[in-house]
Structure 1
Amino acid sequence: MKISLFYEFPLPRPWTEDDEHQLFQHGLDEVEAADKAGFSTVWLTEHHFLEEYCHSTAPEMFLAAASQRTKDIRLGFGVMHLPPAINHPARIAERVATLDHLSNGRVEYGTGEGSSVAELGGFNIDPADKRAQWEEALEVSIRCMVEEPFSGFKGAHVDMPARNVIPKPLQKPHPPVWVACTRPASVQMAAQKAIGALSFAYTGPEALKERVKGYYDEFEAAGMPVTPAINPNILAIGGDLSMMVARTDDEALKRLGIGGGFFSFGIMHYYLTGMHVPGRTKVWERYQQAVAEDPTLAYGPGRGAIGSPNTVREFLRSYEASGVDEIILLLNPRSHEGTMESIEIMGREILPEFIERDAKAVAEKNRRLEPIIEKVEARRRPSNAPVFDETYNFGGLPTGRGGKFTAGEIPEAMAEINEGRVKAAQAEKAAREAAS
């Protein structure tokens, strides 16, 4: 089992002027330390307008910065929102491919539909359309990464003419593809499409064992690839997967404070029960009140990788026994200094044994899946992408509705450039004549 980290960049109020700046700088320090410690991947979510709960609104920016301070740790979008109003699929392809080059081929392409009223409503997306938008955008973004040129697409939600989208990713044909799965049905859907399942697990390793089995059973029985490269993997995130490691259980609890349950509380607030006034509602204050009424909302040992090395080691082994390929440990509001020491302890005392066993498990899994993958690949349907029209071209000045010319600045700029070129040539000629 691989062990990774997950960032939402929560930032509880009250805020000081430097808080957001410090949040990202601390994150970069932690990811650099995690790379040295041997964590598999750093996954970074994308959310919009979810103040206090998640300030990770431009994951590609942070991951690009992290790519320059790390060497081995993989960089995961966990996840990028695919509705075109949030991220156009061509722009997704460009950003994923660029990050893949900057990181020397370490990108994991996690995808999702979006769920909250804050986000779907903020971008005027009808929730009834979000699955269809995800499906269209996934196809188009992958085709933009692999086709030279992309031959065009006309769907209900994405309409794009032929263009050669550049750059192409370093990983060929494209980085591994994942989808966020919040319930068993979506895990089944991921297996059917032969892509990775970013599975939210809220009920512990025993229930996860059944979910893992269900994924691989469905992959074998009904997997039909929708991307050029398949990705038969399932990982677990959420629920009882917060992290804080110290020399003792008590010290770990002290450094985590009450923050361990903020992820789950934030989900309840923004997705289920909370009524939110932008820029006014105090989410952390509400969480503190809830913890005061029910202290079990704040996670401790047994409800996360929280405690001494021995406590955390046994906790992680219980998840390893579920058969899951990877778990992602959440970094909720906590002590930055404590997190840096946690990462160091994990790398020195905990991760090595899991890394060693994972290498053997991956080799065995590859042998076991080899005949299954052959069956899955045999179900692959021919691409329905249109053949590129070799006579197609574009050019000239853009015009608007009714043929109205709308880019007068271009000829004006070109005229200015030409005038400058002519004057420079005349000056050069005059200088030569004067010299002779």
Structure 2
Amino acid sequence: MKISLFYEFPLPRPWSEDDEHQLFQHGLDEVEAADKAGFSTVWLTEHHFLEEYCHSTAPEMFLAAASQRTKDIRLGFGVMHLPPPINHPARIAERVATLDHLSNGRVEFGTGEGSSVAELGGFNIDPADKRAQWEEALEVAIRCMVEEPFTGFKGEHVEMPARNVIPKPLQKPHPPVWVACTRPSSVQMAAQKAIGALSFAYTGPEALKERVDGYYQELEANGAPVTPAINPNLLAIGGDLSMMVAKNDDEALKRLGIGGGFFSFGIMHYYLTGMHTPGRTKVWERYEQAVKEDPTLAYGPGRGAIGGPDTVREFLRSYEASGVDEIILLLNPRSHEGTMESIEIMGKEILPEFIERDQKAVADKAKRLEPVIEKVEARRQPSDAPLFDETYAFGGLPTGRDKFTAGEIPEAMAEINEGRVKAAQLEKEQKAAREAAN
């Protein structure tokens, strides 16, 4: 089992002027340390308008910066929102491919639909449309990454003419594709499409085994690829509390404080029970009050990678026994010093044995899945992408309704040409004056 980190970048109020700056700088320091420690991937979510709970609104920017400070750790979108009002498929392809080059081929392309009122409403997306938007956008984004040129698409939510989208990813044909899954039916859907399942559910290792087994059973029985490269893997979140590893259990609990449960509380606030006034509602204050009423919200044994090395090791082994391919560990808000120590202890005392076992497990799994992959590939449907019209070309001035013409460039070119004429005339006059003086 691979062990990775999961960033939401929470920032509880009150905020000082430098807090957001420090948030990202501390994150870069942590990812650099995680790379050296041996963590498999850093997964970074994308959310919008979820103040305090998640300030990770432009994951590709942070991951690009992280790519320049790391060598081996993979860089995962966990996840990028695919509905076109949030991210146009061509822009998705461009950003993912660019990051893939900057990182020397370390991108994991996690995708999702979005679920919160804040985000769907903020971008005027009807919740009834989000699955169809994700499906269309995924097809178009992947085709933009692999086709030269992309030959065009006309769907219910995405319409785009032929264009050659550049750059193309370094990983061929494209980075591994994943989809966020919060329900067993979503895990089943991922298996049917032969893409990775980011199982963002908090069921614990016992119930997780059912999802793992169900994924591979569904993959073998009904998996049919929707992307050029399949990704038959399943990732899970390691509990609902933040990772905090220290020399012993007591020290870890002390460093965890009450922040451990803020992630789960934020989900409840933004997705289920909370009413939020932008820029006014104080989410952390609400959380603090909730913890006073029910201290178990902040901590509970076995609900996260929390404790000394022995405790955390046993926690991780229980997930490893479920058969999941990768586990991601949450990070505690405003705990940079504790997080850095946690990463160091994990790298020295815990990760090596899991890395060694994972190398063998990956090889064994590849061999075990060989006949399954053959079945899956046999179900691949021929592409219905249109053939490229070799006579198609574009050019000239962009025109719009009411015969509007975007004339900025012709005006600029005319100004440039006028400048050239004046410069030539001036040079001619100066030359004549020099000759007359001689």
**How many Å separate the matches in 2 of 1:60 and 1:113?**
17
Q: Specify the SS of the correspondent of 2:3.
A: strand
Percent of pairs with identical residues: 92
**How many Å separate the matches in 2 of 1:238 and 1:2?**
12
**How many Å separate the matches in 2 of 1:217 and 1:435?**
94
**How many Å separate the matches in 2 of 1:259 and 1:364?**
39
Runs of 5+ consecutive residues of structure 2 not aligned to the other structure:
none
Deviation at 1:195, TM superposition (A): 0.1
Contact 2:240/2:264, CA 8 A, preserved across alignment = no
TM-score normalised to the size of structure 1? 0.97
**How many Å separate the matches in 2 of 1:424 and 1:131?**
59
- Alpha-carbon displacement from aligned partner over 1:346-390 (angstroms, at most 9, x marks no partner): 001100000000000000000000111011000000001000111
- Once the two structures are superposed, the pairs formed by residues 385-400 of structure 1 within 5 Å of their partners are 385-400=385-400
- Alpha-carbon displacement from aligned partner over 1:317-341 (angstroms, at most 9, x marks no partner): 1100000000000013142111101
Contact 1:300/1:306, CA 8 A, preserved across alignment = no
**How many Å separate the matches in 1 of 2:169 and 2:437?**
54
Q: Which residue does the alignment assign to 1:19?
A: 19
Deviation at 1:396, TM superposition (A): 0.2
Contact 1:256/1:333, CA 8 A, preserved across alignment = no
Q: Which moved more, 1:233-242 or 1:159-168?
A: 233-242
Deviation at 1:240, TM superposition (A): 3.2
Q: Which residue does the alignment assign to 2:409?
A: 410
Q: Which residue does the alignment assign to 2:418?
A: 419
Deviation at 1:408, TM superposition (A): 2.0
Deviation at 1:110, TM superposition (A): 0.3
Deviation at 1:421, TM superposition (A): 2.7
Deviation at 1:164, TM superposition (A): 0.5
Deviation at 1:435, TM superposition (A): 11
**How many Å separate the matches in 1 of 2:75 and 2:88?**
21
**How many Å separate the matches in 2 of 1:3 and 1:239?**
13
Q: Specify the SS of the correspondent of 2:84.
A: coil
Deviation at 1:239, TM superposition (A): 3.5
Aligned length: 434
Contact 1:260/1:300, CA 8 A, preserved across alignment = no
Contact 2:241/2:299, CA 8 A, preserved across alignment = no
Taking structure 1 as reference, are residues 433 and 314 closer, same or farther at Cα in structure 2, changes over 3 Å only?
Answer: farther
Contact 2:96/2:109, CA 8 A, preserved across alignment = yes
**How many Å separate the matches in 1 of 2:241 and 2:274?**
23
**How many Å separate the matches in 2 of 1:126 and 1:207?**
32
- Alpha-carbon displacement from aligned partner over 1:7-54 (angstroms, at most 9, x marks no partner): 000000111111101100000000000000000000000000000000
- Alpha-carbon displacement from aligned partner over 1:379-432 (angstroms, at most 9, x marks no partner): 00000100011111100001111xx23312211100111122333444555699
TM-score normalised to the size of structure 2? 0.97
Deviation at 1:238, TM superposition (A): 5.7
Q: Specify the SS of the correspondent of 1:344.
A: helix
- Alpha-carbon displacement from aligned partner over 1:300-330 (angstroms, at most 9, x marks no partner): 5421110001110111011000000000000
Q: Which moved more, 1:171-180 or 1:417-426?
A: 417-426
Contact 2:332/2:339, CA 8 A, preserved across alignment = no
Q: Specify the SS of the correspondent of 1:180.
A: strand
Taking structure 1 as reference, are residues 191 and 427 closer, same or farther at Cα in structure 2, changes over 3 Å only?
Answer: same
Q: Which moved more, 1:326-335 or 1:170-179?
A: 326-335
Q: Specify the SS of the correspondent of 2:287.
A: helix
Deviation at 1:128, TM superposition (A): 0.3
CA RMSD of aligned residues (A): 1.5
**How many Å separate the matches in 1 of 2:97 and 2:433?**
49
Contact 1:249/1:301, CA 8 A, preserved across alignment = no
Contact 2:236/2:327, CA 8 A, preserved across alignment = yes
Taking structure 1 as reference, are residues 258 and 431 closer, same or farther at Cα in structure 2, changes over 3 Å only?
Answer: farther
**How many Å separate the matches in 1 of 2:424 and 2:404?**
32
**How many Å separate the matches in 1 of 2:248 and 2:239?**
23
Runs of 5+ consecutive residues of structure 1 not aligned to the other structure:
none
Q: Specify the SS of the correspondent of 1:100.
A: helix
